[in-house]
Structure 1
């Protein structure tokens, strides 16, 4: 039973003048996630690079951390990660 970190990028798009999550993209590393988020934010309103830590066996989420956000990100995005 071990914890495994994975990295994803959460881009955001405008829908009816409100930011909403677009499709998440996986990244191979922390630096890859940061680069991908920064590049996506040039084409979209914003993006956030995330580190997800979960139990290897059960898949149970241990933590979700915003590494860095680029551009516009919803004000309650960090809170929504903590809420599960």
Structure 2
């Protein structure tokens, strides 16, 4: 039973790391595709998902946009009211 649990955990760690590191070039490509000089101050109720939805075209994957916003602004947790962030200029 312990071996099966170890195998399952190992599998998910492997898949998770593949998904994380596999998406990095896509995020870098998105970042390099735009000029990041649109200053925005976070308002109460803002979420990264809402911001991504507002600045993205319908065919863009919001998860990639969110990852790019987080990387450019060095965000490692939640948004804070009045936090200054930089968004891509469309």
TM-score range, shorter chain: under 0.3
Higher helix share: 2
Whose relative contact order is higher, 1 or 2, with alpha carbons under 8 Å and at least 6 apart?
2
Which TM-score applies when normalising by structure 2?
Answer: 0.25
Which TM-score applies when normalising by structure 1?
Answer: 0.26
Higher strand share: 1
